[in-house]
């Protein structure tokens, strides 16, 4: 019962879509209504509001970290083992993809996954982040960087922690992240994926 409660809490934390929350707080359009329609930092940046994009990125990352941290800190008091905590890690990510508070229309999960990885083990999080940065630096494709990092993360988790419940959770998270980037994969293969720094469709003005 305690494990189920922590998993539910993780899911609810993940369901806090900061792209929508921040946009509403700053008077910006709903991120579902422009650009890629994805409620994430990259799409929010299309409004030209860098603060909103930064707050979205940080919020989505911190919620992934927070859910796992809280489970690691308190769950053992209630008899929840590492398998249960790994399930919380997966739950917060699923919450981001399918947020109950926003009609299950969530983002792709890159920032939330990063937060989860840093909470599981900072070495895994740092290694995955460096992988993402290297790909972005050389190729300037955010989506490609996310995909390569998603492939790297399960191997890094298994290397650092062994083939345990955390490695299994990270493997599922990575698979879901790749699935959410299906359209980006098609664009990459077709050569039509936008690079970082390229001018893209700008979001409509508030009320426009």
pLDDT of residue 35: 85
Reported as a pLDDT band with limits 50, 70 and 90, residue 100 is: very high
Structure tokens at 167: 């490695």
Burial (Cβ within 10 Å: 0-12, 13-18, ≥19) of residue 44: buried
The pLDDT tens digits of the residues spanning 114-169 come to 999 999 999 999 999 999 999 999 999 999 999 999 999 999 999 999 999 999 99
The pLDDT tens digits of the residues spanning 40-73 come to 998 999 899 999 999 999 999 999 999 999 999 9
**For the chain, what percentages of helix, strand and coil (3-state, to nearest 5) are there?**
75, 0, 25
pLDDT of residue 174: 98
pLDDT of residue 208: 44
pLDDT of residue 114: 97
Whole-angstrom Cα distance, residue 161 to residue 140?
A: 31
**DSSP for 44-69?**
HGGGT-HHHHHHHHHHHHHHHHHHHH
Whole-angstrom Cα distance, residue 132 to residue 90?
A: 20
Is the distance from CB of 39 to CB of 106 less than 8 angstroms? yes
């Amino acid at each position: 019962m305690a494990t189920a409660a922590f998993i539910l809490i993780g899911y609810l934390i993940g369901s806090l879509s900061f792209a929508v929350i921040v946009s509403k707080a700053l008077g910006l359009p709903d991120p579902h209504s422009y650009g890629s329609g994805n409620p994430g930092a990259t799409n929010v940046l299309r409004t030209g509001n860098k603060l909103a994009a930064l707050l979205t990125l940080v919020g989505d990352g911190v919620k992934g970290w927070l859910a796992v941290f809280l489970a690691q800190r308190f769950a053992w008091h209630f008899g929840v083992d590492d398998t249960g905590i790994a399930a919380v890690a997966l739950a917060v990510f699923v919450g981001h993809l399918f947020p109950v508070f926003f009609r299950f229309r969530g983002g792709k999960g890159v920032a939330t996954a990063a937060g989860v990885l840093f909470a599981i083990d900072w070495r895994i999080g740092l290694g995955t982040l460096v992988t993402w940065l290297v790909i972005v630096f050389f190729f300037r494709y955010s989506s490609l960087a996310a995909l390569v990092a998603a492939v790297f993360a399960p191997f890094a988790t298994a290397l650092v922690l062994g083939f345990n419940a955390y490695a299994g959770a990270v493997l599922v998270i990575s698979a879901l992240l790749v699935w959410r980037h299906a359209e980006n994969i098609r664009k990459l293969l077709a050569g039509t994926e936008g690079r970082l720094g390229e001018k893209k469709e700008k979001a409509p003005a508030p009320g426009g």
